[in-house]
Structures are given as structure tokens and as C-alpha cells.
Structure 1
Amino acid sequence: MTAEELREQLARRLSADGHLRTEPWRTAVRQIPRHEFLRGGFFEWVDGSSPTAWAPVLPDEPTWLEHCYADTSLVTQIAGTIVPGDIQGRILRAPTSSSTMPGLVVRMLEDLQVDDGHRVLEIGTGTGYSTALLCHRLGDALVTSVEVDEAVASRARTALGQCGFTPDLVVGDGLAGHKDSAPYDRVIATCGLRTVPRELIEQTRPDGTLLLTLCGWLYSSELARLTVHGDGTASGRLLGGQISFMLARPHLPPPLGLLPDLDQSDERRALLGADALNDWTTRFVAQLAAPGAQRITLNRDGRTEHVLLDVGSGAWAVLWENDGGDWAVRQGGPARLWDAIEEHITRWRNDGAPPLEQFTVRVASDQLSTTWPGR
């Protein structure tokens, strides 16, 4: 199939899946060549590899063009600097940049609720594909996009130019916004955030919209649409759908360092087991109770132990399942992590376990609070 046919097929698929809902964005998907933003190739997960391995797919390979128009995210950078053309064979490092799956891109653009004449700030240019869609919808002069990685930004600038777009592209920390082009009617972030930066609120017009993915170090994240108010606060709802993005680099968790002595504390029967965190929504609620906690799994003394550690405070908890199916917990440090998580999850369940779409988010005085009906 030709690129034009593949774009048409992609637009039909995204419309059928409910991601594309309005004609302006449908037209943009039909006309913006995603493959132009993937000329450097992408990395493909090596099926069955453990640890995870990635192999490059370059434009001279027969499957490249078809993959460019699949509704899937495509990794474009690994370990902060490595691009597909740098590798022959496989690489075992972690991805650091990608072209987000088109279905998520257009769902977010639809949820942004732009109108003609709106000025938009995009946090995270990436390949530039979503930037191009914004330019097609609004015009170059109304789009500002910020990318922290200079090499990534340079490749996006080239691809956008090839497609005839010249938005305001800025290399810098997108979490600080870009006040030179403020105020904005809409702000959209294509990275995960643990907090809402004050600068983004200050650079958005009253009644303007922030569309952000709120995430934590237990890696449950959700899309939030917030309205900025004249008093400098912002509030809104989570939109649901289990949205997942790489965390913004300043919001990445700290190294765990040396683990504490996990045997130096009393143990008790746990009211909830670590398996409760396997559920996306329950894990999101747990993050609200322990926002600084990270989770790892250890095999010790012939059993699997689930460790939660807050590096900043030094608080920790370790859980394991006994032969009878009950769970036990041991906790240490200045706070009791699992006590807080158990209490928060139990309260949420007692309130009927409302879905994340019913959660309210409020940002005031640099503090972010998230609540649910009944709380």
C-alpha cells in the first residue's frame, strides 16, 4: 500500500475506535505523513527477549512504512542518545524517546478541545508528529512546542520543515513552559508528570485548559483536564483510559541506593496484599497515599518479597505471602508506608470504589490534591 492509502486506513481505524471524533482532526490524520517523522527508523521489541532487547528497523526494510502507520508507539531513542542507525543487532538499554501511538495522540488532541485561534503550548515535541497535527489544525503561528533533548528537537525541526511547517520550536525544560509566547489557551504535555508546574498555570489564560498525564513512581497514570482559574488555581477531572507516558526527566525517581535492613522491624498480618497493586486503579489510589514510594521485587529466603521504599523519607515496607495465602508486612523508617496505603485503599473501597473518571484534581499553592466522590 502507498503512504496515502495507509494514512486513509489509519484514519478509518482511529475513527472506528472512537479516538478520532471530529472532522478537523480526521483531515489532519489523513494529510500528515507520519513516516516523515520516522525517517531515522525506530526500534522494535525483540519478541520473547529477557531482559528486554530492541532491534532497529530502518526505512530500507520492507516492513518500515507499514509499521509507521500502525496504531502503536515506536521507540526512536534509547539510553538518551542512541538512535536506530547507531545499532546493528540488538540493544538492551531503556527507551528514552518515542513516537506515541496515533490513537493516543489524536485522543489527546480531541480532549484538548481546541478552537480556531487558540494558542497552544506543547510540552515534549518528540518526533514532531503531534506538533504537525496541531500546525495543520491551528496554523504554525499559534503552536509552540518545547523539547528538552536538543538532538530530538533537531530531528523534529527537520521533519516539520519537510512537511512545510515552521512552528515555534524551543529547546529547553518544558516544565518551565515558554513565557515568551504566553499566555496560552491550551497546554498539552506528552510526558508523565508527578506534579503540575506552577509555570504552566501562570502561562495559561484564565478559563484556559491544561491536558496533562499525572503519574507516580508506582507507574499508574491518568489523563487530567484542568481549567485554570483567575485566582491562580486549576481544577478538573481525570479522563480515564489508563494513559501511559514516559515520565518527564526532572520527575524521574531517584536511585534506590542501598536497601535498608528489611528484617529490623516487627511484622504483622497485612489487611491487603501486594497483589492489590496489580490493579491499575488501586495502584493509582496507593500512589496518592505514598507519592514517594517505589516498588521492587526480591527473592529472599526462598520467598518472593515486595518492597516499597520512599528514598526521600527513608520509609519502607516489605510484604510477602505466607503458605496459607495470608500476607504479612514489615515496615520501618519515619512513617508506615503500608499502613497509609491500606487506609487509603480501604477508604476508597468503602466509598464504592469510584472509577478514576470521577476523581477531582485541584492545584493550589503549589500543592496537588486528588479526591473521589464521598471523600
Structure 2
Amino acid sequence: MDWTHHATQLARSMVHPTSRWHRPVLATPRHEFVPRWFTAGPEGWTPKDGPSYEAAWARAAYADQTLVTKVGPVHADHATDGQTVTGRPTSSSTLPGLVVSMLRHGQLHPAHELLDVATGSGYSAALACAYLGDHRVTTVDVDPYLIEAAAERLGSVGYHPKMLTQDATAALPGEYDRIVSMVSVPNVPASWLRVLRPGGRLVTTIAGTGLILTADKSDDGGSVGQIEWDRGAFMATRTGDDYPPQLDDLFDQARDEEGEEVTDSPYPVLNVMQAWEVWSMLSVTAPGIEHRTGTDNDGNPTAWMLHPDGSWARAETKPLSRTATVHQGGPRRLYDILDGIRWRWLQDGELPVYGAKVTITPDGETTLARGGWSVTL
């Protein structure tokens, strides 16, 4: 493949020519890191083989889009042609624009040593190697196969960073000037703070949100920073081949059951995960909610909220109205929490999560605060 033309087009679409990341994008053959990937269909995920369809490979690899490389425990490298795999994505080659955005938030300089958290396909490590030199890059992933495959693909383009197979939230070796995470965490792991050098900077996203957190190491061993006005989301950390099962049994209950409490909401049914500010505020207020959307028997928009504690809510669009009927059950009223956030959003014109000040204690306790509002993750 004559990939340099495609890399030039990708760089032109997402990075200004004066950016320090323009040259790394130009110099990195992304297709080498995603020879196979999955595409979604009505029956599940189907593998695509790049070398067999070179034009499609080039279009996919050099578009600013995420390519799913693993579904449940099955990596695209190991899926047979025509096989349909069901489950949730567990690894991907993240859209290049977001990878570069995270690296930019890291404020890297050529003398820095970087810990790249969540190796994935190896593309983020390749960009870092192109900028810093591979001797200054360490990359970690919990998945042994991802490390093995990424090491081979990085080596094929001349890079040999230090690569570790381990849980990035556990104890880590070495010391680093910068930590940039390509996976989301519920709060900043204390292990990161222990290996971050004085004055060092960490960048991550918060699990279940669109929040990018940046923080600089403070004298007490913690960190101080902010939630950026930018936004981004990654898969959450995992410790095994797959994430815990989704709440299908609770969904079966919530699908049509009369709620313990039935009320009217003055607001239309909302696809929460498409409303980044509301979704992020809700996730830090009540972590762990699973959202599903669909239609009722009459084709009206319907949304469900499910929580591992057994709480559930179903919002159904009222006929001839933009309001909703809400059914709720379990120990908490999830939709009341959502409606409270939507009311604050309308009243204030914004929510306080973006732009919040971040304070992280040495043991990783992470607090967001802005305008009289605060939450500890």
C-alpha cells in the first residue's frame, strides 16, 4: 500500500501543519496496526481483513474513526472470515484525532519520558515514539495478546519501546514525566501518582463520561488540575478478557413492567449518551448506570436506565406530546436524578462538570469542584 498519501490526508484533516504532532501523524502507517478489525451489523460484529481488500483497508485506517479490534474475548486477528461475534467491544484503535488530543493535553516535550496507558493496537505508542524516540516511551496493557501483537507491529516500523503486560491501575515500575491514558478510569489510580515525577503531568478520561482530566503533580504527592473544556471518551479499564455481563435480567424487568412509582416528566425522552454534558454529570453523580434506547409498541422513543443495585427507570414518550411518562423501581429513583440535572442545565445554561477544578490526594481520591458544586469520585 502506498500509505504516505493517505497519512498526509489524515494529518491535513486533524492536525495543523505547525503542530508538533503533524510530523508523527505523517510518519506513522496506521494500517500496519490494524490489519484486521470488526464492523457492526444487525447480527453482531464481522471481521474485516485489510490485506484482502486494500482500498477498504486504506479508507478505514486513514479515516479519523475508531476501529474495533476486539469484541468480548475475541480479537479480530483470531476471528475467521464470515464469523459473527456478539458482545461488547473490549479493544480498539481509537480515532486518531482523539489520540492526538490526549497527547497534546499531555504537553510533551522531547526530553520527557512517557507512560502510555492501554497499548491497544499500538498506534498511540507509535505516535509517541515518532515524537519522543522509542527509548523514552513505555506502554502497558492488561491484555497479553495486545502487547504481543503491538510489539511486533511497532517493531516492523522500527520502534522498540518498553512494553509491559499488566494492570495499569496496580503497582507500576519506573518513573515518568508524563502519563497519558488511552483508557478511562473511575478515579486516578494512586499507582500513577507514585511513578509520576515531581512536576509531572497526567492525562486521562473518567469512566462513563466524556470528561478529560489533566493534573500536575503537587508537592504533597497528589495532583491538582482541571476537567478540560475538550471532551473525549474511552473504554473503561478491565482486568480480564471481557467486561462483566450487562444487566439483561434487569432490562427484561424494566422493559414493560409497571413501575413502583409512575410519574410524568416535563421533558422529552433523551438519549443520555448523546448529550455529553448531561451524561457526564449524571455519571459522576450516580456512577454505574447502563443506558438503553429504543421504541415502544407504537414506535415512540423510549429510554431505559439500569443500575447494578437493582434500580431501573423507563421513560416513554407520551402520545401527541413532547413530555414523557416515567416508570421507576428499585432502591433509587434514577430518572429523578436525571431530571434534576436537566433542570439545573436549563436553569443555569450549563453544568459544572466541564471546567471543574480537580484535586487528587496521594492515595488517588479524586474530587471535582466548580461554582459551589463538588463530587468525590
Q: TM (normalized to structure 2)?
A: 0.84
Partner secondary structure for residue 306 of structure 1: strand
How many angstroms apart in 2 are the aligned matches of 1:95 and 1:51?
Answer: 15
Please tell me whether residue 72 in structure 1 is matched to residue 65 in structure 2.
yes
Instruction: Output the CA distance in 2 between the equivalents of 1:60 and 1:296.
Output: 36
The correspondence for 2:260, drawn from 261, 265, 269, is: 265
Is the 2:277–2:351 Cα contact (8 Å) retained in structure 1? no
Deviation per CA, 1:232-278: give whole Å up to 9, x if none. Answer: 43332223444232222259565325325743513222244442624
Following the alignment from structure 1 to structure 2, what is the Cα–Cα distance between the partners of residues 82 and 139?
A: 29
**3-state SS of paired residue (1:175):** coil
What amino acid does structure 2 have at the position aligned with 1:288?
A: V
1:50 aligns with 2:48: no
- Report the Cα offset of residue 101 of structure 1: 2.0
Deviation at 1:124, TM superposition (A): 0.8
Post-superposition shift, 1:327?
A: 2.0
CA contact (8 A) 2:45 2:85 kept: yes
Q: What residue is the counterpart of 1:27 in the other structure?
A: 23
| 1:58/1:85 contact within 8 Å kept | no
- What is residue 10 of structure 2 aligned with on the other side? 10
Q: Report matched runs for 1:311-322 at 5 Å.
A: 311=308, 313-322=309-318
| 1:41–1:294 CA distance, 2 compared to 1 (3 A) | closer
Find the partner of 1:187 among 169, 179, 183: 179
Partners of 2:364 and 2:233 in 1: CA distance = 24
Code of the residue aligned with 1:346 in structure 2: it is W
Shift of residue 104, structure 1, vs aligned partner = 1.9
User: What is the 5 A alignment of 1:1-375?
Assistant: 2-15=2-15, 18=16, 22-23=19-20, 25-38=21-34, 40-45=35-40, 49-63=41-55, 64-84=57-77, 86-93=79-86, 94-176=88-170, 178=172, 180-182=173-175, 184-216=176-208, 220-250=209-239, 252=243, 255-256=246-247, 258-259=249-250, 262-263=257-258, 265-275=260-270, 277=272, 278-297=274-293, 305-311=302-308, 313-325=309-321, 326-354=323-351, 357-364=354-361, 366-373=364-371, 375=373
Q: 1:315 to 1:354 in 2, by over 3 A?
A: closer
Contact 1:276 1:282 in 2 (8 A): no
Cα distance change, pair 276–124 in 1 and its aligned pair in 2 (3 A): closer
Which range moved further: 156-165 or 90-99?
Answer: 90-99
Give the residue type in structure 2 aligned to 1:74. L
Residues 264 and 41 of structure 1: CA distance in aligned 2, closer, same or farther (over 3 Å): closer
Deviations 1:65-99 (A, max 9, x none): 45332322222233323324632225242432222
Specify the code of the residue in structure 1 equivalent to 2:186: R
* Contact 2:119/2:140 (<8 A) preserved: yes
Structure 1: unaligned runs, 5 residues or longer: none
Q: Shift of the alpha carbon at 1:324?
A: 4.7
**Offset, 1:117:** 1.9
Q: Residues 191-219 of structure 1, C-alpha deviation per residue, up to 9 Å, x if partnerless?
A: 12222222112221233211111131xxx
SS in 1 for 2:313: strand
> Could you tell me whether the CA contact under 8 Å between 1:123 and 1:175 is conserved in 2?
no
1:279 shift after superposition: 1.9
Secondary structure, in 3 states, of the residue corresponding to 2:54? coil
Q: How many angstroms apart in 1 are the aligned matches of 2:37 and 2:320?
A: 47
Asked whether the equivalents of residues 126 and 159 of structure 2 are also in contact (C-alpha less than 8 Å), the reply is yes
Shift of residue 131, structure 1, vs aligned partner: 0.8
Decide whether the 8 Å contact of 1:240 with 1:356 is kept in 2. no
Q: Is the alpha carbon distance of 1:253 and 1:272 closer, same or farther for their aligned partners in structure 2, counting shifts above 3 Å?
A: farther
Q: Partners of 2:270 and 2:287 in 1: how far apart?
A: 18
Q: Which amino acid aligns with 1:215?
A: A
Q: Is the 8 A contact 1:56 1:90 kept in 2?
A: no
Cα pair distance change 1:140/1:345, threshold 3 Å:
same
Contact 1:123 1:177 in 2 (8 A): no
**Aligned partners of 1:319, 1:371: CA distance in 2, in Å?**
30
Uncovered stretches (5+) of structure 2, i.e. residues with no partner: none
Scaled by the length of structure 1, the TM-score of the pair is 0.84
Q: Percent identity?
A: 29
Q: Are residues 171 and 263 of structure 1, via their aligned partners in 2, closer, same or farther at CA, if it must alter by over 3 Å?
A: same
Amino acid at match of 1:334: P
In the alignment, the residues of structure 2 paired with residue 321 and residue 6 of structure 1 have an alpha-carbon distance, to the nearest angstrom, of: 45
Distance in 1, matches of 2:31 and 2:120, equals 14
RMSD: 2.9
Measured in 2, the distance between the counterparts of 1:301 and 1:61 equals 41
